[in-house]
Structure 1
Amino acid sequence: MTTNQVAESTKDLLARMDQFIEREIKPLQAQDDNERFFDHRREYERTDWENGGIPRREWEDLLREMKNRADKAGFFRHDLPKEVGGNESTNLEMAIIREHLARKGLGLHNDLQDESSIVGNHSGVHMLTKFGTQEQKDELIEKCLTGQAGIGFGLTEPDHGSDATWMETQAVREGDDWIINGAKRWNTGMHRASHDVIFARTSGKDGEARGITAFLVPTSTEGFSVDFFRWTFNMPSDHADVSLRDVRVPSSAIVGEEGHGLDVAQGFVHENRIRQAASSLGAGEHCIDLAVQYARKRVTFGEPLARRQAVQWPLVELATEAEMLRALIRQTASELDERHHLEVSDKVAMCNYRANRFCCDAADRAMQIHGGVGYSRHMPFEHIYRHHRRYRITEGAEEIQMRKVAGYLFGFAGPNKSK
């Protein structure tokens, strides 16, 4: 079987998901005017404009109900280890799932703005299962899955983004405790987070990967402050500026090994980038699907738009790119299941930056083909564009992804690195 073919077990899973969406999720979206979170009112209704621009409680309560139903149906934990109730899904299967759900368009079943889906993308839980102590696992995993706790990720700083080895946040040992001082930016989920994973330099020199440690810090700790939520291109915002002033935590707060915090930061990054690429592919395909449907029925100057080459050819280019991306994403996901992630890091980077760019291009073209109505918020294109435009910066900017590909290509990095 090629990676472009889908195993019968995965086909059955997708069919059961579709049935669950029709039976449980679409009726939930339709009741109590919950459609306001997905139609032209979506940005306004999702955002608590008077409270820092964070997500409204009603919006997140609806997402929580969706997750609870998906968990009860056996889908929400699908990619997690069996010991925490999951099915240990493969990277290939998760790529297929993410593309499938995103291609269905905007809806409660899979709202990428919040990384909320009937099949969760549990980066914090994956971090704990892989690097956490038993005490950390027992305290947080189940609470994170049921919405009783949440974990933020404090890596980026005001003056340091992709150059994480130059971070300025410091942690100094004092007996069996550590004292942390510094600042973080784009700290996602801090309006609800019970804990924040803070990366701080504990040894070594600027520019060295070794010497950075990850600390699991309760947000209630004295000296920990959520200062400001940065409003973004796509609202609401849960991206905070955080400051730490003499924050004291015990050594038991360390996640992973002391000095090896970047291993924790990178522990799920390749899997996450593949899933992100698959979601961008699916969302872009949704834009193409709607553009083709509209072009077939929209008549101008006596004939359908679909008969005009000016409409056909851009969509042909996008459809061709989608096919090539699907093959690359699934092949790379399959290799990620079978090989060490650093052996395919360049392929993951290719998938990620090309798929994110493809989605933006597809949303823009669909908007153009729909004309004025495409530019309105009564269509999904502006929302899809604004959200997926973010992915060209977060999770490693596309320039960083291209740099990774170049490093492998020219032998500066990777398994074929020149001596």
Structure 2
Amino acid sequence: MDSGIPADTAQLLTDLDRFIEEQIAPLQAADDNERFFDHRREWARTDFEAGGLPRAEWHELLTEMRRRADRAGFLRRDLPAELGGSEAGNLEMAIVREHLAHRGLGLHNDLQDESSIVGNFPSAHLVWKFGTDEQRSEFVEALITGERGLGFGLTEPDHGSDATWMETVGVRSGGDWILDGAKRWNTGMHVATHDLVFARTSGKPGDARGITAFLVPVDAPGFTIGLFRWTLNMPTDHADVTLRGVRVPDSAILGEEGRGLEIAQNFVHENRIRQAASSLGAAQYCIDESVAYARERVTFGQPLAARQAIQWPLVELHTDAAMLRELIRATARDLDTRSHMEVSDRVSMCNYRANRLVCDAADWAMQVHGGMGYSRHLPFEHIYRHHRRYRITEGAEEIQMRKVAGHLFGFTR
């Protein structure tokens, strides 16, 4: 359903579709790469005997996809012009991410590890915005090309959404810092050269100030990558990390000392609206596929689509998708023109509702398709398993609803 897509964005979608058909679809079809997307996908992607990590062949295929997208001028679309980007706004990125997810499972847009022909580079954005000249030079381009990997170490074994109560600490030692603590769900550690570690360096538990972000080499003495935790959707890139007397120089601080949470939260609105758009696109894919199947499938002498038990749940989902599309695009448009805090509550609305919608749509698609829907020969179980995590990560839906409630009842200033 078109909702006032700007002409230049509409042309971009056409160009992306042509690029997919000419370069990405043939790559997916070559060398049995379909094994990463058909019923074999979880097994093909995961090296179960190596701790559940992504297989090297899967990682290389995603890397080649990004190389081709970069050469075609699509990969860096949202990055600053100085980095070869087009400085795409939130509205364009929301439309693009919905469009790519609506195409279904494929090499063009594999959300399992946030890999797409139109890249999303939160780590590069953070270093570009908060880093020193030396940090920018060392990390930004390398993060885009994959020569460097930056993990994200915020969550701890006993602290998730309550990040201001984290127990990892940093203590000054001469011109250096000594870091001690533990992280859980430390994302991206299978390819990380560095980890963005958040540690309390001043203040007391519960204070927003006093937490500092450090760029820590993963080969630093005392830095240990432990168990990669297996999840509902495999492979995993989420590790347990311990820091015991890890020494880093003062130059390892990203941004200002004591203001690390501002870094963690800086790109949150963009990430959440883009993730909501992706969930919406995947939900609409599930709805469309279910409608098409119900029209073709004949039971007891009639198309499945003739039965209200099939019609009405899909009508509800389709209606919710249409309304959510309007909210997501209006919110993305306002993110481009207004203070983020003015629309923070609407970003949360979009995010938690879209994540819930895609789970409902995937679940109903499995039901409509019957036994085949439950099988891995159709993509719905994969979509459900992938998107279910976003009701917890990127800000659990309870946290999102709490934010909306704060605005609604006047508790948030």
SS, match of residue 393 in structure 2: coil
Mapped partners of 2:119, 2:98: distance in 1: 14
1:106 aligns with 2:105: yes
Aligned length: 412
For residue 358 of structure 1, what is the aligned residue in structure 2?
Answer: 357
Displacement, 1:275?
Answer: 0.4
For residue 330 of structure 2, what is the aligned residue in structure 1?
Answer: 331
Mapped partners of 1:307, 1:128: distance in 2: 55
For residue 263 of structure 1, what is the aligned residue in structure 2?
Answer: 262
For residue 189 of structure 2, what is the aligned residue in structure 1?
Answer: 190
Q: Taking structure 1 as the reference length, what is the TM-score of the superposition?
A: 0.98
| One-letter amino acid of the structure 1 residue matched with residue 243 of structure 2 | L
| One-letter amino acid of the structure 2 residue matched with residue 117 of structure 1 | S
For residue 42 of structure 1, what is the aligned residue in structure 2?
Answer: 41
For residues 8-407 of structure 1, the aligned pairs below 5 Å read: 8-407=7-406
State the 4+ residue runs in structure 1 displaced beyond 6 angstroms. none
Mapped partners of 1:389, 1:44: distance in 2: 19
Mapped partners of 1:180, 1:338: distance in 2: 40
Could you list the runs of 5+ residues in structure 2 that have no partner in the other structure?
none
Mapped partners of 1:340, 1:162: distance in 2: 24
- Counting aligned pairs with the same residue, the percent is 71
Mapped partners of 2:126, 2:51: distance in 1: 29
Mapped partners of 1:385, 1:208: distance in 2: 37
Could you give the per-residue CA deviations for residues 173-213 of structure 1, whole angstroms, max 9, x where no partner exists?
A: 11110000000000011011011000000000100100000
Could you list the runs of 5+ residues in structure 1 that have no partner in the other structure?
none
Could you give the per-residue CA deviations for residues 334-364 of structure 1, whole angstroms, max 9, x where no partner exists?
A: 1111111111111000000000000000000
Mapped partners of 1:150, 1:162: distance in 2: 24
Mapped partners of 2:341, 2:173: distance in 1: 36
Q: Taking structure 2 as the reference length, what is the TM-score of the superposition?
A: 0.99
Displacement, 1:234?
Answer: 0.3
SS, match of residue 16 in structure 2: helix
Displacement, 1:160?
Answer: 0.1
SS, match of residue 107 in structure 2: coil
For residue 409 of structure 1, what is the aligned residue in structure 2?
Answer: 408
Displacement, 1:4?
Answer: 2.6
Alignment RMSD: 0.7
| One-letter amino acid of the structure 2 residue matched with residue 47 of structure 1 | T
Mapped partners of 2:179, 2:395: distance in 1: 25
SS, match of residue 177 in structure 2: strand
Mapped partners of 2:132, 2:49: distance in 1: 39
Mapped partners of 1:202, 1:301: distance in 2: 69
| One-letter amino acid of the structure 1 residue matched with residue 264 of structure 2 | A
Mapped partners of 2:197, 2:183: distance in 1: 8
SS, match of residue 266 in structure 1: helix
Displacement, 1:216?
Answer: 0.6
Mapped partners of 2:330, 2:184: distance in 1: 34
